[in-house]
């Protein structure tokens, strides 16, 4: 049978397995395997050539039993309602696993940002906000960045929202530039949170992260910071490979992460980086025998086709949904320690939550405070999941689901929905 690659079907299958293990009653299963609300809208945008193009936009509010919905906005050519639903489900479990008082949401636009001018991006950002604004608010649903939505795009969105409501309202959207009420430490929070979980995992497996080899697939926000922070926070490491949408590069003796980031920013790709030994494909990168692999691009890159060839010791899933359920079983059998996506990349939403708190009381924390609180949240979430993995003898993703789904189900029960 062909492997299921629809992210929402995968999210539901992962949930079903946890629901079965938790013995959830049928009505609880039904309410937790679907979004509570979803919006699909059209966004007309005046293009630079004078024509009008109609884009398709989405917002899904998955579950707000534990707190207001929260989740990023993704701009991508392959965006569909089902990718947004899956990401909204994962946001729900993510906020729960790190125990912050938020529910899950997600939004998106089907578009190719690489083909849009800055003016067109601004009109699209403002257009998305004009349609979605009525459903948003820090006590209802609050967006954030995701793939290809930059701090500048978020800045246009917060400006549009504040024009609509007629007052300053910073907590409605996070990932803002610092000058507009963003939090210290938000830029690298996703990767930093993942690095904290890798630090804890290395202790469990007696790996010295300062000597560990590592590879990063996807060299955007999450991947670039993973590359630099592995070195900075974990005291070293040997970065042997990185990739972006155009392919990857490999260097056996290791590469300087800061230098590759600089190259990527100046040349838009890593594949022309001159200090690598050779070019490799994204597929080859995933199969390298490294201590730590950071999948930091998109969904479904580790499937039943290549899972048996994955040779890393730890896979820290900064991307959402990089591993299919079939692949999970193979990785588990082969002893690969997976730090599952909604745990590994929860640092972003954790600092987004800190940003919302700061915006609400209009008092801002120091960078040191943010990092300390992030470390505490991520470390305690990793250990809660690891302990569940040992206690129930299940792989790490199932363990993360057991921790997260139980908390959401308890909140649903207390509210009397089921």
**Catalytic residue numbers?**
106
For 242, the token pair is 């990185």
Closer to ligand NAD at the Cβ: 213 or 323?
323
Q: Which residue has the tokens 């969904």?
A: 299
* Measured distance CA(405)–CA(22) in Å, rounded: 9
Q: From the CB of 352, what's the least distance to ligand NAD, in Å? A: 8
CA-wise closest residue to 340 among 323, 361, 364: 323
Exposure of 165 in the CB half-sphere (CA atoms within 13 A): 17
The residue nearest ligand NAD at its CB is 220
Q: Is residue 194 within 8 Å of 226, Cβ to Cβ?
A: yes
Smallest gap from Cβ 83 to ligand NAD, in A, equals 10
Kindly report the backbone phi and psi dihedral angles of residue 96, in degrees, each rounded to the nearest multiple of 5, phi listed first.
-75, -45
For 406, which DSSP code?
H
Q: Which residues contact 164 (CB under 8 A, 6 or more apart)?
A: 129, 130, 133
Give the phi and the psi of residue 68 in degrees, each rounded to 5: -60, 150
* Nearest residue (CB) to ligand NAD, 234 versus 297: 297
Contact 378, 26 (CB under 8 A): no
Whole-number minimum distance, CB 348 to ligand NAD, in Å?
3
Tell me whether residue 148 or residue 386 sits nearer to ligand NAD (CB atom): 148
Residue pair 366/184 in contact (Cβ under 8 Å)? The answer is yes
Nearer to ligand NAD, 268 or 311 (CB): 268
Nearer to ligand NAD, 209 or 248 (CB): 248
For tokens 């980031």, what's the residue?
A: 261
Q: Which is nearer to ligand NAD, 65 or 153 (CB)?
A: 153
Task: Report the nearest approach of ligand NAD to the CB of residue 398 (Å).
Answer: 20
SS3 98: coil
Please, which residue, 61 or 282, has the CB nearer to ligand NAD?
Answer: 282
Nearest Cα to 295, choosing from 304, 283, 280? 283
Closest CB 415 distance from ligand NAD, rounded Å: 27
Give the residues lining the site for ligand NAD (CB under 6 A).
146-148, 190, 217-223, 243-245, 282, 296-298, 318-320, 345, 348
- For residues 129 and 163, is the Cβ–Cβ distance under 8 A? no
| CB 261, min distance to ligand NAD, A | 11
**In this structure, are residues 339 and 315 in contact, taking their beta carbons and an 8 Å threshold?**
yes
Beta-carbon contacts of 212 under 8 Å, excluding residues fewer than 6 positions away, are 202, 234, 237, 238, 290, 291, 292
Helices vs strands, H then E, count in the chain: 14, 12
Closest contact distance (angstroms) between CB of 43 and ligand NAD is 20
């Amino acid at each position: 049978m062909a492997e299921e690659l629809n992210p929402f079907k995968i999210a539901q299958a992962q949930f079903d397995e946890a629901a079965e293990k938790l013995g959830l009653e049928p009505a609880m299963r039904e309410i937790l395997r679907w979004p509570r609300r979803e919006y699909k809208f059209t966004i007309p945008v005046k293009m630079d050539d004078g024509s009008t193009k109609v884009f398709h936009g989405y917002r899904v509010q998955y579950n707000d039993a534990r707190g207001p919905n929260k989740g990023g906005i993704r701009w991508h050519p392959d965006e569909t309602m089902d990718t947004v639903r899956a990401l909204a489900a994962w946001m729900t479990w993510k906020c729960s696993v790190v125990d912050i008082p938020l529910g899950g949401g997600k939004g998106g636009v089907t578009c190719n940002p690489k083909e849009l001018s800055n003016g067109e991006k601004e009109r699209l950002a403002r257009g998305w906000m004009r349609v979605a604004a009525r459903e948003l608010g820090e006590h209802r649903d609050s967006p954030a960045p995701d793939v290809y939505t930059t701090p500048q795009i978020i800045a246009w969105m917060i400006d549009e929202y504040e024009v609509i409501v007629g007052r300053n309202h910073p907590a409605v959207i996070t990932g803002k530039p610092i000058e507009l009420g963003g939090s210290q430490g938000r830029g690298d929070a996703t990767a930093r949170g993942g690095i904290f979980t890798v630090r804890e995992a290395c202790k469990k497996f007696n790996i010295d992260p300062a000597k560990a080899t590592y590879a990063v697939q996807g060299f955007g926000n999450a991947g670039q910071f993973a590359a630099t922070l592995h070195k900075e926070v974990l005291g070293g490491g040997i970065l042997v490979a990185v990739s972006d949408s155009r392919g990857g590069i490999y260097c056996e003796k290791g590469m300087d992460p800061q230098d590759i980031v600089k190259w990527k920013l100046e040349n838009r790709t890593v594949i022309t980086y001159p200090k690598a030994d050779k070019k490799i494909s994204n597929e080859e990168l995933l199969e390298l025998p490294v201590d730590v692999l950071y999948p930091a691009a998109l969904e479904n890159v580790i499937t039943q086709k290549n899972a048996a060839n994955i040779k890393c010791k730890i896979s820290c899933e900064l991307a959402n949904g990089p591993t299919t359920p079939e692949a999970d079983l193979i990785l588990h059998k082969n002893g690969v320690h997976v730090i599952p996506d909604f745990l590994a990349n929860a640092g972003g939403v954790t600092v987004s939550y800190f940003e919302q708190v700061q915006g609400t009381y209009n008092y801002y924390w120091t960078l040191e405070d943010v990092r300390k609180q992030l470390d505490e949240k991520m470390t305690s979430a990793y250990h809660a999941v690891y302990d569940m993995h040992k206690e129930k003898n299940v792989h790490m993703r199932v363990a993360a689901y057991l921790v997260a789904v139980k908390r959401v189900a308890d909140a649903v029960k207390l509210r009397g929905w089921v």
